Structure 1
């Protein structure tokens, strides 16, 4: 059960890392486009910041801390 939970958490975190990386690349490209006057999706990215990217970053940090805590608990019991 414990290994299944850790495996599921790791898969979720990997998917979340890709979402955060894609969001960052989109942010950088859209910001450059905005500064040059080219519409590259800045408005849409900005609308998605609070409902999508902000929670994704929080889940990534929380999952990393939870993964670390599970590892420490496993170390203590072994």
Structure 2
């Protein structure tokens, strides 16, 4: 097996963050429907959503925020490195 390059790690991080965005968005939609159902009196899984908040949704939000920051810093460093390399070649 070939070792992973920097671009492979970046691609993996981007795919992972995309999956987390969909998980967080689905959790938000579920939350909105379950709260609405709880007010109306229709059980749509609000209690289950609350039980999943700490072990699933809260870590997903934290990882998503940290990953977004890491991805931004990574892009900034790549741009800075390529700019320095261009100046050295001239």
Calculate the TM-score normalised by the size of structure 1. 0.98
Q: Which has the higher contact order (CA 8 A, sep 6+)?
A: 1
Greater Rg by CA: 2
Structure 2 spans left out of the alignment, 5+ residues: 83-90
Give the length in aligned residue pairs: 78
Matched ranges for 1:44-59 at <5 A: 44-59=48-63
Calculate the TM-score normalised by the size of structure 2. 0.85
* Stretches of 4+ aligned residues off by more than 6 angstroms: none
Superimposed CA distance per residue, residues 49-75 of structure 1 (whole angstroms, 9 cap, x where no aligned partner) = 000000001111101000000001101
Task: Please report how far the alpha carbon of residue 76 of structure 1 lies from its aligned counterpart in structure 2 after TM superposition.
Answer: 1.1
Structure 1 spans left out of the alignment, 5+ residues: none
